[in-house]
Amino acid sequence: MLGIKTLKEHLAILPDDLATLIETFAQISMDMQTNFPKYLSGVENEPNKYGEAVAKLDAWANKTLCDNLLQTGLVRKIYSEELQTPVEGREDAPFVITLDPLDGSSNITTNNAFGIILGIYRSDFPQKGRDLVAAAYKLYGPVNTLVYTTGKGVHEFVKHYYEDGAVRFLLLHENMKLPIKPEVFGVGGKPMQWSGNFREFAKNLFKEKKMRPRYCGTFVADFSQVLHRGGFFSYPSTEGAPDGKLRLAYECAPLSFICENAGGASWDGRSGSILDVQIEDADARIPLYLGNKEVIEELKKTQGN
Protein backbone atom coordinates (compact mmCIF):
# COMPACT_ATOMS: atom_id res chain seq x y z
CA MET A 1 0.00 0.00 0.00
CA LEU A 2 1.26 3.46 -0.86
CA GLY A 3 1.82 5.84 2.02
CA ILE A 4 0.03 9.15 1.71
CA LYS A 5 3.14 11.19 2.33
CA THR A 6 4.58 13.05 -0.63
CA LEU A 7 8.30 13.51 -1.08
CA LYS A 8 7.86 17.22 -0.40
CA GLU A 9 6.21 16.48 2.94
CA HIS A 10 8.89 13.94 3.81
CA LEU A 11 11.65 16.45 3.11
CA ALA A 12 10.06 19.11 5.32
CA ILE A 13 12.22 18.23 8.36
CA LEU A 14 15.43 19.00 6.44
CA PRO A 15 17.08 22.40 6.14
CA ASP A 16 15.24 24.36 3.43
CA ASP A 17 18.18 24.48 1.01
CA LEU A 18 18.73 20.70 1.09
CA ALA A 19 15.02 19.95 0.83
CA THR A 20 14.68 22.23 -2.19
CA LEU A 21 17.66 20.65 -3.94
CA ILE A 22 16.40 17.08 -3.48
CA GLU A 23 12.86 18.09 -4.46
CA THR A 24 14.19 19.82 -7.61
CA PHE A 25 16.22 16.75 -8.56
CA ALA A 26 13.13 14.59 -8.10
CA GLN A 27 10.98 16.92 -10.20
CA ILE A 28 13.47 17.15 -13.08
CA SER A 29 14.00 13.41 -13.12
CA MET A 30 10.23 12.95 -13.33
CA ASP A 31 9.85 15.41 -16.20
CA MET A 32 12.83 14.00 -18.09
CA GLN A 33 11.23 10.64 -18.72
CA THR A 34 8.72 12.00 -21.25
CA ASN A 35 11.61 13.00 -23.49
CA PHE A 36 13.51 9.70 -23.47
CA PRO A 37 11.97 8.37 -26.72
CA LYS A 38 13.51 11.31 -28.61
CA TYR A 39 17.05 10.24 -27.70
CA LEU A 40 17.02 6.48 -27.99
CA SER A 41 19.66 6.12 -30.68
CA GLY A 42 22.89 7.73 -31.76
CA VAL A 43 26.07 8.85 -30.05
CA GLU A 44 27.86 12.18 -29.73
CA ASN A 45 30.90 12.87 -31.95
CA GLU A 46 33.35 12.99 -29.05
CA PRO A 47 33.86 10.28 -26.41
CA ASN A 48 33.77 11.27 -22.72
CA LYS A 49 36.82 11.67 -20.45
CA TYR A 50 36.91 7.88 -19.94
CA GLY A 51 37.08 7.29 -23.69
CA GLU A 52 33.55 5.84 -23.63
CA ALA A 53 30.98 6.60 -26.33
CA VAL A 54 28.46 9.20 -25.13
CA ALA A 55 24.90 8.21 -26.05
CA LYS A 56 22.57 11.02 -27.15
CA LEU A 57 20.57 10.32 -24.00
CA ASP A 58 23.71 10.59 -21.79
CA ALA A 59 24.46 14.03 -23.23
CA TRP A 60 20.86 15.25 -23.02
CA ALA A 61 20.40 13.96 -19.46
CA ASN A 62 23.63 15.61 -18.38
CA LYS A 63 22.69 19.00 -19.86
CA THR A 64 19.13 18.89 -18.54
CA LEU A 65 20.19 17.98 -15.01
CA CYS A 66 23.09 20.46 -14.87
CA ASP A 67 21.02 23.36 -16.26
CA ASN A 68 18.10 22.77 -13.91
CA LEU A 69 20.18 22.13 -10.79
CA LEU A 70 22.30 25.24 -11.42
CA GLN A 71 19.11 27.27 -11.84
CA THR A 72 18.19 26.63 -8.21
CA GLY A 73 21.06 28.89 -7.16
CA LEU A 74 21.91 26.25 -4.55
CA VAL A 75 24.78 24.62 -6.40
CA ARG A 76 28.37 25.86 -6.26
CA LYS A 77 29.88 23.20 -8.49
CA ILE A 78 28.80 20.10 -10.39
CA TYR A 79 31.18 17.20 -11.01
CA SER A 80 29.72 14.90 -13.65
CA GLU A 81 30.80 11.71 -15.33
CA GLU A 82 29.88 13.39 -18.63
CA LEU A 83 31.70 16.71 -18.10
CA GLN A 84 35.37 17.18 -19.03
CA THR A 85 35.74 19.63 -16.16
CA PRO A 86 33.29 20.53 -13.37
CA VAL A 87 30.77 23.27 -14.10
CA GLU A 88 30.70 26.23 -11.72
CA GLY A 89 27.55 27.69 -10.23
CA ARG A 90 27.10 30.58 -7.77
CA GLU A 91 30.22 31.09 -5.68
CA ASP A 92 28.21 31.52 -2.46
CA ALA A 93 25.87 28.57 -3.09
CA PRO A 94 25.79 25.90 -0.35
CA PHE A 95 26.26 22.61 -2.24
CA VAL A 96 28.76 20.72 -4.38
CA ILE A 97 27.20 17.95 -6.43
CA THR A 98 28.31 14.74 -8.15
CA LEU A 99 26.28 13.28 -10.99
CA ASP A 100 26.05 10.12 -13.00
CA PRO A 101 23.39 11.66 -15.25
CA LEU A 102 22.52 8.35 -16.83
CA ASP A 103 23.62 5.14 -15.22
CA GLY A 104 23.23 2.08 -17.42
CA SER A 105 23.76 3.55 -20.90
CA SER A 106 24.18 0.09 -22.43
CA ASN A 107 20.56 -0.62 -21.47
CA ILE A 108 19.06 2.27 -23.46
CA THR A 109 18.70 0.37 -26.74
CA THR A 110 17.53 -2.84 -25.06
CA ASN A 111 14.83 -1.06 -23.01
CA ASN A 112 16.14 -2.37 -19.73
CA ALA A 113 16.23 -0.32 -16.56
CA PHE A 114 18.53 2.66 -16.18
CA GLY A 115 18.75 5.56 -13.76
CA ILE A 116 20.56 8.55 -12.29
CA ILE A 117 22.93 8.84 -9.30
CA LEU A 118 23.27 12.04 -7.27
CA GLY A 119 25.70 12.95 -4.48
CA ILE A 120 25.38 16.15 -2.43
CA TYR A 121 28.23 17.64 -0.36
CA ARG A 122 28.67 20.94 1.46
CA SER A 123 32.44 21.07 0.73
CA ASP A 124 34.54 20.61 -2.36
CA PHE A 125 36.96 17.71 -2.99
CA PRO A 126 39.21 16.30 -1.57
CA GLN A 127 36.85 14.65 0.91
CA LYS A 128 35.34 11.25 1.60
CA GLY A 129 32.06 9.61 0.67
CA ARG A 130 31.33 9.71 4.39
CA ASP A 131 31.13 13.53 4.04
CA LEU A 132 28.04 13.25 1.82
CA VAL A 133 25.13 15.23 3.25
CA ALA A 134 22.75 13.34 1.00
CA ALA A 135 22.70 10.76 -1.77
CA ALA A 136 19.90 9.73 -4.08
CA TYR A 137 19.22 7.54 -7.04
CA LYS A 138 16.46 7.48 -9.57
CA LEU A 139 15.47 4.19 -11.19
CA TYR A 140 13.47 4.16 -14.42
CA GLY A 141 11.92 0.70 -14.43
CA PRO A 142 8.34 -0.42 -15.04
CA VAL A 143 7.57 2.02 -12.22
CA ASN A 144 9.72 5.01 -11.41
CA THR A 145 11.31 5.25 -8.05
CA LEU A 146 13.51 7.63 -6.14
CA VAL A 147 15.58 6.58 -3.13
CA TYR A 148 17.33 9.10 -0.90
CA THR A 149 19.12 9.35 2.40
CA THR A 150 20.56 12.21 4.37
CA GLY A 151 22.27 9.77 6.72
CA LYS A 152 19.11 9.24 8.78
CA GLY A 153 17.26 6.40 7.15
CA VAL A 154 16.86 5.32 3.56
CA HIS A 155 13.52 6.12 1.97
CA GLU A 156 11.92 5.10 -1.33
CA PHE A 157 9.28 6.99 -3.29
CA VAL A 158 7.29 6.07 -6.38
CA LYS A 159 5.98 8.33 -9.13
CA HIS A 160 2.22 8.43 -8.70
CA TYR A 161 -0.38 9.65 -11.20
CA TYR A 162 -3.39 11.36 -9.60
CA GLU A 163 -6.79 11.37 -11.26
CA ASP A 164 -6.66 15.15 -11.74
CA GLY A 165 -3.48 14.79 -13.82
CA ALA A 166 -1.01 15.74 -11.10
CA VAL A 167 2.11 13.62 -10.77
CA ARG A 168 4.00 13.31 -7.48
CA PHE A 169 6.43 11.05 -5.66
CA LEU A 170 4.65 9.17 -2.86
CA LEU A 171 6.34 7.34 -0.01
CA LEU A 172 6.74 3.62 -0.74
CA HIS A 173 9.19 2.44 1.95
CA GLU A 174 10.54 4.36 4.93
CA ASN A 175 13.70 3.50 6.89
CA MET A 176 14.65 0.66 4.58
CA LYS A 177 16.99 -2.07 5.80
CA LEU A 178 18.58 -4.82 3.73
CA PRO A 179 16.69 -8.05 4.54
CA ILE A 180 18.69 -10.27 6.91
CA LYS A 181 18.86 -13.20 4.51
CA PRO A 182 20.88 -12.35 1.38
CA GLU A 183 18.99 -13.61 -1.64
CA VAL A 184 20.50 -12.28 -4.88
CA PHE A 185 23.88 -11.33 -6.27
CA GLY A 186 25.20 -9.56 -9.35
CA VAL A 187 28.80 -9.17 -10.48
CA GLY A 188 30.11 -7.08 -13.38
CA GLY A 189 33.02 -7.79 -15.69
CA LYS A 190 34.10 -11.02 -17.38
CA PRO A 191 34.41 -13.96 -14.94
CA MET A 192 37.64 -15.19 -16.51
CA GLN A 193 39.21 -11.80 -15.75
CA TRP A 194 38.25 -11.88 -12.05
CA SER A 195 40.94 -13.08 -9.66
CA GLY A 196 40.86 -16.81 -8.87
CA ASN A 197 40.00 -16.02 -5.25
CA PHE A 198 37.11 -13.82 -6.19
CA ARG A 199 35.77 -16.33 -8.71
CA GLU A 200 35.78 -18.94 -5.95
CA PHE A 201 33.91 -16.55 -3.61
CA ALA A 202 31.31 -15.81 -6.31
CA LYS A 203 30.85 -19.53 -6.98
CA ASN A 204 30.16 -20.14 -3.29
CA LEU A 205 27.42 -17.52 -3.31
CA PHE A 206 25.24 -19.85 -5.36
CA LYS A 207 26.83 -23.16 -4.39
CA GLU A 208 26.91 -22.79 -0.62
CA LYS A 209 24.79 -19.75 0.17
CA LYS A 210 22.13 -20.73 -2.40
CA MET A 211 21.83 -17.15 -3.64
CA ARG A 212 20.42 -16.39 -7.09
CA PRO A 213 22.55 -14.69 -9.77
CA ARG A 214 20.84 -11.53 -11.08
CA TYR A 215 22.82 -9.03 -13.14
CA CYS A 216 21.22 -6.32 -15.20
CA GLY A 217 24.22 -4.14 -16.11
CA THR A 218 22.82 -0.96 -14.56
CA PHE A 219 24.37 -0.28 -11.18
CA VAL A 220 21.27 1.42 -9.69
CA ALA A 221 19.04 -1.46 -10.79
CA ASP A 222 21.46 -4.11 -9.53
CA PHE A 223 21.80 -2.22 -6.28
CA SER A 224 18.03 -1.81 -5.93
CA GLN A 225 17.55 -5.56 -5.81
CA VAL A 226 20.21 -5.88 -3.08
CA LEU A 227 18.47 -3.16 -1.09
CA HIS A 228 15.09 -4.87 -1.40
CA ARG A 229 16.02 -8.54 -1.30
CA GLY A 230 19.39 -8.64 0.44
CA GLY A 231 22.52 -9.86 -1.28
CA PHE A 232 25.72 -8.78 -2.90
CA PHE A 233 26.83 -6.58 -5.78
CA SER A 234 30.30 -6.07 -7.13
CA TYR A 235 32.21 -4.61 -10.01
CA PRO A 236 35.53 -6.10 -8.94
CA SER A 237 39.13 -5.44 -9.74
CA THR A 238 39.92 -7.39 -12.92
CA GLU A 239 43.05 -8.48 -14.75
CA GLY A 240 42.87 -5.69 -17.30
CA ALA A 241 41.34 -3.12 -14.92
CA PRO A 242 42.77 -3.34 -11.38
CA ASP A 243 40.64 -0.32 -10.35
CA GLY A 244 37.48 -1.91 -11.73
CA LYS A 245 35.06 0.04 -13.89
CA LEU A 246 32.82 2.04 -11.60
CA ARG A 247 33.57 5.61 -10.61
CA LEU A 248 34.28 6.35 -6.94
CA ALA A 249 32.68 9.81 -6.76
CA TYR A 250 29.85 9.52 -9.31
CA GLU A 251 28.67 5.97 -8.62
CA CYS A 252 30.31 4.10 -5.72
CA ALA A 253 30.28 6.70 -2.93
CA PRO A 254 26.57 7.69 -3.21
CA LEU A 255 25.28 4.11 -3.44
CA SER A 256 27.63 2.91 -0.67
CA PHE A 257 26.27 5.76 1.48
CA ILE A 258 22.74 4.50 0.84
CA CYS A 259 23.77 0.84 1.37
CA GLU A 260 25.51 1.52 4.69
CA ASN A 261 22.63 3.67 5.89
CA ALA A 262 20.34 0.72 5.18
CA GLY A 263 22.44 -1.53 7.42
CA GLY A 264 24.66 -2.95 4.66
CA ALA A 265 28.40 -2.70 4.12
CA SER A 266 30.78 -1.64 1.38
CA TRP A 267 34.42 -2.51 0.67
CA ASP A 268 37.03 -1.21 -1.72
CA GLY A 269 38.91 -4.53 -1.89
CA ARG A 270 41.88 -2.94 -0.16
CA SER A 271 41.57 -1.01 3.05
CA GLY A 272 37.94 -0.75 4.13
CA SER A 273 34.64 0.94 3.46
CA ILE A 274 34.24 2.83 0.18
CA LEU A 275 33.05 5.74 2.34
CA ASP A 276 36.47 6.07 4.00
CA VAL A 277 38.39 6.44 0.76
CA GLN A 278 39.68 9.97 0.30
CA ILE A 279 38.39 11.28 -3.04
CA GLU A 280 41.35 13.21 -4.45
CA ASP A 281 40.43 12.80 -8.09
CA ALA A 282 36.69 13.06 -8.74
CA ASP A 283 37.10 11.00 -11.92
CA ALA A 284 38.88 8.03 -10.32
CA ARG A 285 37.58 4.47 -10.56
CA ILE A 286 37.57 1.98 -7.70
CA PRO A 287 36.79 -1.73 -7.22
CA LEU A 288 33.43 -2.05 -5.48
CA TYR A 289 31.91 -4.72 -3.26
CA LEU A 290 28.69 -4.09 -1.36
CA GLY A 291 25.76 -5.84 0.25
CA ASN A 292 24.80 -7.59 3.49
CA LYS A 293 27.39 -7.12 6.22
CA GLU A 294 28.08 -10.80 6.78
CA VAL A 295 28.65 -11.39 3.05
CA ILE A 296 31.15 -8.54 2.90
CA GLU A 297 32.90 -9.82 6.06
CA GLU A 298 33.22 -13.27 4.52
CA LEU A 299 34.53 -11.77 1.30
CA LYS A 300 37.21 -9.87 3.21
CA LYS A 301 38.37 -13.08 4.90
CA THR A 302 38.53 -15.09 1.70
CA GLN A 303 40.40 -12.35 -0.16
CA GLY A 304 43.12 -12.34 2.48
CA ASN A 305 42.17 -9.05 4.21
User: Which one of 23, 103, 222, 268 is in contact with Mn ion (CB under 5 A)?
Assistant: 103
Instruction: Answer yes or no whether residue 100 interacts with Mn ion by CB under 5 A.
Output: yes
Instruction: Answer yes or no whether residue 283 interacts with ligand AHG by CB under 6 A.
Output: no
Segment contacting ligand AHG (CB under 6 A): 9-17, 72-80, 96-104, 260-268?
A: 96-104
How does DSSP assign 152-179, residue by residue? S-EEEEEEEE-TTS-EEEEEEESS----
Q: How far is the CB of 108 from ligand AHG (least distance, A)?
A: 9
d(C-alpha 47, C-alpha 213), whole Å = 32
User: Which one of 235, 257, 267, 289 is in contact with ligand AHG (CB under 6 A)?
Assistant: 235
Segment contacting ligand AHG (CB under 6 A): 100-108, 162-170, 174-182, 269-277?
A: 100-108
Instruction: Answer yes or no whether residue 292 interacts with ligand AHG by CB under 6 A.
Output: no
Instruction: Answer yes or no whether residue 283 interacts with Mn ion by CB under 5 A.
Output: no
Q: How far is the CB of 54 from ligand AHG (least distance, A)?
A: 9
Hey, CA dihedral for 18, 101, 121, 153, is it positive or negative? positive
Among Mn ion, ligand AHG, none, residue 60 binds (CB under 5-8 Å by kind) = none
105 to 134, contacts with ligand AHG by CB under 6 A? 105-106
Instruction: Answer yes or no whether residue 103 interacts with ligand AHG by CB under 6 A.
Output: yes
Q: How far is the CB of 52 from ligand AHG (least distance, A)?
A: 6
300: CB partners within 8 A, 6+ apart: 267
Q: How far is the CB of 245 from ligand AHG (least distance, A)?
A: 5
Q: How far is the CB of 242 from ligand AHG (least distance, A)?
A: 15
Among Mn ion, ligand AHG, none, residue 261 binds (CB under 5-8 Å by kind) = none
